[in-house]
């Protein structure tokens, strides 16, 4: 299973690079984009199977399933597999793939007796140093996708249901028990906006807009 996960994560990274650097890619950009999400969907399906085990068609099982981060990102991958390409949407799946692939490669090198090699030490150091920053970048990227998806409706590249489905994904991330990065990102953004609004140099119209926007978004937030 771990080998399959490593393979799908490497494929996610490979196809993401192919999409972002089409002049170096043997794969057509659109094909690379959808293959990256297909690989991400496979990764999260495998990871979800690892986490929840045997499928059971009960209310308790589905409630437990909805708490799993891998379920959230399977949902995410399927949404973008069935939508027009959005380059920014590749950010979460590619960063997660890079972080987890690095950790798995370190475990593999350790298992075959090369845990002390330069490559293993370097990968372990990179994963340890940058995990928190990457999780924060992923959370911010997921939040800023909302206005991107809404704007796509007006140019005819997304249907009305896409932002609503994505909002559901975002509420699941906000309520995540294993990864609080989305809640932390929202809290940091709110703090920054409150600081701007509290400034004596902030025009009243901007201050009112900030407070009204924060109040509206706070009402939409689920109970974590």
Per-residue pLDDT at 36: 97
What does residue 172 show for φ and ψ, rounded to 5 degrees? -65, -40
Write out the two tokens for 7.
């393979």
Per-residue pLDDT at 215: 87
For residue 27, is it left (φ>0), alpha (ψ between -120 and 50) or beta?
beta
- Domain edges within the chain: 2-179, 186-224
Write out the two tokens for 86.
């959005």
Per-residue pLDDT at 122: 84
Write down the pTM of the prediction: 0.88
Q: Is residue 54 scored above 80 in pLDDT?
A: no
Looking up tokens 């994505």 gives 166
Looking up tokens 């798995």 gives 104
**pLDDT above 90: percentage of residues in the chain:** 47
Per-residue pLDDT at 223: 59
Per-residue pLDDT reduced to its tens digit, 82-124:
999 999 999 999 999 999 998 888 888 888 777 777 788 888 8
Closest alpha carbon to 213 in 199, 193, 198: 193
Percentage helix, strand, coil for the chain under 3-state DSSP, each rounded to 5:
80, 0, 20
Distance CA 150, CA 141 (A): 15
Per-residue pLDDT reduced to its tens digit, 132-159:
899 999 999 999 999 999 999 988 888 8
Per-residue pLDDT reduced to its tens digit, 4-44:
899 999 999 999 999 999 888 888 999 999 999 999 999 99
């Amino acid at each position: 299973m771990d080998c399959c996960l490593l393979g799908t994560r490497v494929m996610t990274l490979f196809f993401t690079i192919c999409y972002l650097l089409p002049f170096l890619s043997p794969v057509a950009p659109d094909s690379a984009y959808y293959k990256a999400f297909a690989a991400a969907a496979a990764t999260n399906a495998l990871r979800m199977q690892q986490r929840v085990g045997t499928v059971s068609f009960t209310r308790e099982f589905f409630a437990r399933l909805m708490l799993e981060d891998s379920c959230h990102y399977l949902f995410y991958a399927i949404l973008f597999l069935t939508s027009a390409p959005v380059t920014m949407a590749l950010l979460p799946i590619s960063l997660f793939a890079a972080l987890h692939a690095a950790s798995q490669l370190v475990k593999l090198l350790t298992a075959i007796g090369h845990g002390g090699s330069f490559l293993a030490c370097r990968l372990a150091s990179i994963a340890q140093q940058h995990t928190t920053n990457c999780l924060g970048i992923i959370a911010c990227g997921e939040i800023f996708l909302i206005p991107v998806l809404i704007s796509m409706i007006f140019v005819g590249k997304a249907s009305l249901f896409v932002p609503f489905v994505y909002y559901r994904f975002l509420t699941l991330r906000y309520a995540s028990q294993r990864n609080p990065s989305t809640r932390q990102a929202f809290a940091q953004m709110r703090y920054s906006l409150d600081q701007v609004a509290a400034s004596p140099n902030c025009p009243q119209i901007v201050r009112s807009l900030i407070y009204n926007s924060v109040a509206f978004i706070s009402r939409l937030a689920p109970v974590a």
